[in-house]
Structure 1
C-alpha cells in the first residue's frame, strides 16, 4: 500500500513499517480537520507507547486501560480522552480488517462518560446583538462571519471551506451548502439579514472561497479566531480574553432553543449526529438560571 504524503508524518510509536502503513491507511479515510485531529491523537498514543517501549500493534487491553488512566491522571478532559480513544479504536479496527491482528484490544476499553456539562452556553441575546453590530461596523466580511456563525451555527472549518459556488436558491430561500464533519454535505437556509450581508461582501464576485483574504486566498481558521477576539474587545469586553468562535455556535443552539425551536430542528441545524450533544446545550441553558444558590441567597441576611 502506497502512502499519501499527507499521511506519512507519523509518531515515534508508529515507525515500524507495518504499523506506519496501517496508520497512514486509516488516516486516508478522513479529510481536513478530522484527519489532522486523528493524526494528533495517534501521535499522542504512539508517543505514550514509545515511553513503554511497546509497539502499538503489540498493545493489549491492559495497555489501553493504562493509557486511559494515565490521561485521567494528567488532567485530560473526558471529551479529549474519548476522542483520542476513538482514533485509537479506529486504528486497531483497521488493523483487524487488514488481517494483521485477530482482535482489537480497544473493543471493551472503558472510556469516561461524555457528561452533560457544557463549558459555555454562548452569548446572551443582548451580547449577540452587540457582537453583530461590532462586526457590521468593522467590515462586510466580519459581518458575514458573525452572522453565519450565530444564525447557522457553522463550525470554523465549515466557514473557511465554503465557496461562492456553494450559494444558491431553493424554494424561494437563499441557501448555503456546507461540508460537515465526515464530508457530509448539508444545505442550509440563510436568513435575509445574513444573505444581504453576503451580497454586500461579495459584490460582483462569483467564484472562489466565500471568505477570502485580500489576495483571494481562503481565510484560515487562525485569522478568523483573531477577528472574533478583536470584535469581542469592542462588543463584549468582559469576554474579550476568552470568547472563541465555537462559543458563537453554542449561542446559536441556546438562543434557537430559547426562541422555541424544536430540539430535533436544532440538532439538524448544527449537524449533530447524536441528539445527546444537542440536549447538553438544552440543559446547560437552564443550569445557571435554576441554580439553588439564588434561592439560598435570598434566605440569608443582607450585609449590614
Structure 2
C-alpha cells in the first residue's frame, strides 16, 4: 500500500496522490522507452492498476466570493497597518515588513483576479510585466511550457504599483530600473530572494484565520484559482473564455473548477420555462391580419 510520511507515523496516501505519482512514473518510463535506443524495452508501470479518482470533483478547499473579499480586506488592513508603523519609525525591520505586506496584498489580488497557478505567479520576474494592445499585461509560462500573456485589471495594478513603488524607493531607484523576482523576499539588510510556495501556504492560512474564514487550515493558493473560475462563471463569463483564461486544454477541467455549476438557479430549465411562459402570454394575432399579410 502507498504510504505518506507524516511526523512519527505514516498514513495511507489519498487516491489522487497515488494516481498522480503513478502517472508521473509512467510518463517518465514512456519517455525512456522512446528516447534511450532500446535500453528500456517497456514501461513497467503501464499495467499497474490505478485508484479511481472522481474526474468531476476536486478535493481543493473552496472559497465563496464573500470569503475572497474577506481575504482581500484583511491584506488591505495589514498593508495599511504596516505602512503606518513604518512611517512612524522607519527601521530596517519595519521597512522589510512593510514591503512584505504590500507584496502579499499584490500577490493575493493577482491570484484572485487572474486565477493563476501559484507557480505561474511566483516564477515571474519584474521584466515579465509588459504592454499589449493598449493594456498592461503579465507574461508567464503556463502548463506545458506554453508562453502566455494575460491583462492586468485596475484592481491588481493598484496593488502591484504600490508594492513596486515602495520597493523602488527602498532601493533608491525607479520602478523601471527594478529587476529580479516580481514577488521578492526582502531581508532587513535589503537582500532580495524569490518568495517560495510553502511560505505562501503558511501566509494564506494565517490570513484566512485572521479574516475569520472557517476553512482556513485547509486553504491553499489553488483555492483562489477555483474561486476565480466559480466567480467568473457566476458573473456570466462564457465557459470557453474561462477555459482560455485558465489555460485548460480540456473544458471538462474548467467545469471541475466551477464550484457553482450544480447551483439549481443556473439550470437551463429556468431559462426555457421563462421563455415558454413569455410565449404563452403573447396575444395571438387575429386571423384576418395573418391572411392580409400572406396576401
TM bucket normalised to smaller: 0.5 to 0.7
Normalising by structure 2, what TM-score? Answer: 0.67
Unaligned 5+ residue runs, structure 1?
A: 1-69, 291-304
What secondary structure does 1:201 align onto?
helix
In 2, Cα distance between equivalents of 1:178 and 1:121: 25
- Given the superposition, is the C-alpha separation of residues 288 and 119 from structure 1 closer, same or farther in structure 2, using an over 3 Å criterion? farther
Alignment CA distance shift 1:84-1:95 (3 Å):
same
What is the Cα deviation at residue 107 of structure 1?
3.7
1:79 aligned partner: 16
Cα contact 2:61–2:215 (8 A) shared by 1 = no
Partners in 1 of 2:61 and 2:26 — Cα distance? 31
When normalised by structure 1's length, the TM-score is: 0.66
Q: Is the 1:121–1:285 contact (alpha carbons within 8 Å) kept by the matching residues of 2?
A: no
Q: Which is strand-richer, 1 or 2?
A: 2
Q: Is the CA contact (8 Å cut-off) linking 2:124 and 2:183 kept in structure 1? A: yes
- Structure 2: tracts of 5 or more residues without a match: 4-10, 80-101, 166-173, 266-295
In structure 2, the residue matched to 1:93 is: 30
Bigger relative contact order (CA 8 A; separation at least 6): 2
Aligned length: 219
- 1:101–1:222 CA distance, 2 compared to 1 (3 A): closer
Residue in structure 2 matched with residue 254 of structure 1 by the alignment? 230
Tell me, yes or no, if structure 1 residue 208 matches structure 2 residue 208.
Answer: no
Distance 1:261 1:81 in 2: 34
1:279 CA displacement = 1.4
Q: Which structure would you say has the larger Rg?
A: 2
Structure 2 Cα separation of the partners of residues 262 and 288 of structure 1 = 16
Paired residue for 2:76? Answer: 136
Moved more, 264-273 or 124-133: 264-273
- Structure 1 residue 172 and structure 2 residue 112: aligned? no
In the aligned structure 2, how far is the partner of 1:101 from the partner of 1:241? 44
State the distance in 2 between where 1:75 and 1:183 align: 32
The corresponding residue for 2:63 is: 123
Over the residues paired in the alignment, what is the CA RMSD in angstroms?
A: 2.3
Which residue of structure 1 lines up, in the alignment, with residue 251 of structure 2? 275
Q: CA deviation at 1:113?
A: 4.2
